[in-house]
Amino acid sequence: MGMTMTQKILAKHAGLEKVQVGELIQADLDLVLGNDITTPVAVKEFNKIGIKEVFDKKKVAIVPDHFTPNKDIKTAEMCKVIREFAKEKEIENYFEIGEMGIEHVLIPEKGLVVAGDVVIGADSHTCTYGALGAFATGIGSTDMAAGMSTGKCWFKVPSALKFVLKGKPSPWVSGKDVILHIIGMIGVDGALYKSMEFVGDGLKHLSMDDRFTMANMAIEAGGKNGIFAVDEQTIEYIKNHSTKEYTTYTADEDAVYDKVYEIDLATIRPTVAFPHLPDNTRTIDEVGDIKVDQVVIGSCTNGRMADLRVAAKILKDKKVAKGVRVIVFPGTQKIYLEAMKEGLLEIFVKAGVVVSTPTCGPCLGGHMGILAAGERAVATTNRNFVGRMGHPESEVYLASPAVAAASALTGKITNPEELA
């Protein structure tokens, strides 16, 4: 019986020739990640352990991105804790305001993850890095503390689902539509503690930005991780961003999967997840007349250059609908600057859009775009739970940047094809 990509990576990092589903293993870590919400708790637990130094100053990354710029005294105090910890422990990859970004956009951009790595992060969307052919998964603050101190973490080896992608998506269909389609198909617990493995000829039609989006939302299907087969696009991205050595793992021909799904990308329509779960999906043709009060374009799911470009393409020389608040959040400072140089920020501002510094703020209902009772938002974020972006009686509709931008112009959820 062969192994999947994830199982091979875990076996290597555990110093084993082979691992089996359900086996408990201890694996070496290539990166331990935390943010301004989870790291203060991890620091407290780290200090309890009694170890004076982190296991490797280059393999710990801390990104204050959820409540930064600090929204109040409490969050300022939380950031002060991690700032002082990073300075004391001489952590090399601490990213302060001005150099920071949304963590899951920033970490690949900085080249801190490559194919074959094992990464844990005290944030559920750490699974984003599976787009690079790495095993990456979210953990709690206590595991982060243990990881920072020992460089190791315990895992239960997951079983896997295989998604064979074929065909070419339609012009206005992106990775966001593909992953919403998949989550709608298998449900929010359809991949519970399983590895979601993406392969097939269709990958060549999905950009790295598409893949980051899809891997990011593996957790929305309950997945332990999402992971993409490494191809030329992956290698090019890694070489352009990192000097680290990478290792490519390919699933064995006799690897066992709980289920195999074949998906023709050409059949997928722009897709929207209705409140209050990511699997409550409808195609754009089934949406109906849904008026919105706010549009958010950004987050660790869709704050990359490709996302901003498609939004700008739709918004260029137009004005957002009267009464609709539209906020764009570039994923990192680098993306912000690139968008500025390309003239995208000018397009947004002239259209009546607010452009913010990189932050996770509105996605988790933290700041910079909170919804009041009865308000609706179209967001390119990853979760639409009750009260996710504000008041428990507000509603969040998840969509691609193209659908979000089109909706900003009309004031209701709109098919971008109608505006092309």
Q: What is the pLDDT of residues 61-99, one digit of tens each?
A: 999 989 888 889 999 999 999 999 999 999 999 998 888
- Give dist(CA 14, CA 27) in Å, integer: 4
- Give dist(CA 78, CA 393) in Å, integer: 29
β-bridge partners, 390: 371
Bridging pattern class, strands 271-273 and 354-355: unpaired
Structure tokens at 216: 């990011």
Task: State the architecture of 271-418 in CATH terms.
Answer: 2-Layer Sandwich (3.30)
Q: Phi/psi of residue 261, each to 5°?
A: -115, 135
Q: Phi/psi of residue 63, each to 5°?
A: -130, 110
Whole-number Cα distances in Å, 367 to 105, 303, 370, 374: 19, 17, 6, 18
Q: Where in the chain is the domain with CATH 3.30.499.10?
A: 5-264, 271-418
* Whether the Cβ atoms of residue 124 and residue 78 lie closer than 8 Å to each other: no
Bridging pattern class, strands 271-273 and 281-283: antiparallel
Check residue 229 and give its pLDDT.
Answer: 97
* Alpha carbon 41 to chain centroid, angstroms: 22
- Give dist(CA 238, CA 246) in Å, integer: 8
Q: Does domain 5-264 have CATH number 3.40.50.720?
A: no
* Whether the Cβ atoms of residue 168 and residue 266 lie closer than 8 Å to each other: yes
* Whether the Cβ atoms of residue 279 and residue 184 lie closer than 8 Å to each other: yes
Check residue 123 and give its pLDDT.
Answer: 94
Check residue 100 and give its pLDDT.
Answer: 80
Check residue 420 and give its pLDDT.
Answer: 67
CA angle (33, 38, 41) in 5-degree steps: 115
Predicted TM-score of the model (pTM): 0.94
Structure tokens at 283: 């195609």
Check residue 65 and give its pLDDT.
Answer: 87
Which segments of the chain have a pLDDT < 50?
A: none
